[in-house]
A and B are shown apart, each in its own frame.
Chain A
Amino acid sequence: AQSVTQLGSHVSVSEGALVLLRCNYSSSVPPYLFWYVQYPNQGLQLLLKYTTGATLVKGINGFEAEFKKSETSFHLTKPSAHMSDAAEYFCAVSIGYSGGGADGLTFGKGTHLIIQP
């Protein structure tokens, strides 16, 4: 079974500062990794994903994440925070369709990103 750990339930950064949201995973097979964002009273929106190939993936709104197999990490970063980035961020893992069936995403507990003016 796979699992996801997000370090820090709340992260506060100043507007214009670097955003770093941490995600570590465990999986018995090569995983597919995702970051989702959830704005208040809205559903989940995919920010970016890692499937295969390049380990540095770029997503929407200037976010990127790097898959580091040796560290079992998939941290999310953005060079300069904007007020509109304030939201809940979820890291998720999937083993895809191996074993003959699809699986549900396994999510971390989420990190609430606060942007200070």
Chain B
Amino acid sequence: GAGVSQSPSNKVTEKGKDVELRCDPISGHTALYWYRQSLGQGLEFLIYFQGNSAPDKSGLPSDRFSAERTGGSVSTLTIQRTQQEDSAVYLCASSLVPAGSYNEQFFGPGTRLTVL
């Protein structure tokens, strides 16, 4: 009965470094979502995967952000050349995706990213 897991729980990095954040969704959930939670912006939707594909990447804040999902399971969110404004908690969620259904998402505990 594992829920959504994320790693690392905390990440401190220096400005300009690349970071990778990992999300392991609930087994059997085909949809996976990334959000960013920051003091100034609240909770922002970043990107969504259905299986391994991401139909809409327009929510990513800049071209330094990318995400991939392999095998319909684990996803990684990569931030290149990190900036201080990237400091935030990155939340991952997953859901079942039956057509025409509502969108109940189950959230992981998040990764707190601090860029020095």
* A interface with B by C-beta (< 8 Å): 32, 34, 36, 42-46, 49, 51, 90, 92, 94, 96-97, 101-110
Kindly identify which residue among A46, A49, A102, A107 contacts B43, using a CB–CB cutoff of 8 Å.
A107
* B interface with A by C-beta (< 8 Å): 4, 31, 33, 35, 42-43, 45-48, 50, 55-56, 59, 91, 93, 95, 97-110
B107 touches A44 (CB 8 A): yes
B101 touches A96 (CB 8 A): yes
Smallest CB–CB gap between A47 and chain B, Å? Answer: 12
Bound-state Cα–Cα, A46 to B101, Å: 17
B42 touches A107 (CB 8 A): yes
Bound-state Cα–Cα, A49 to B99, Å: 18
B107 touches A96 (CB 8 A): no
Kindly identify which residue among A42, A105, A109 contacts B105, using a CB–CB cutoff of 8 Å.
A105
Closest residue of chain A to B109 (Cβ to Cβ) is A43
B48 touches A104 (CB 8 A): yes
A49 touches B102 (CB 8 A): yes
Bound-state Cα–Cα, A23 to B69, Å: 34
Closest residue of chain B to A41 (Cβ to Cβ) is B109
Q: Which of B33, B102, B104 has the most CB of A within 10 A?
A: B102
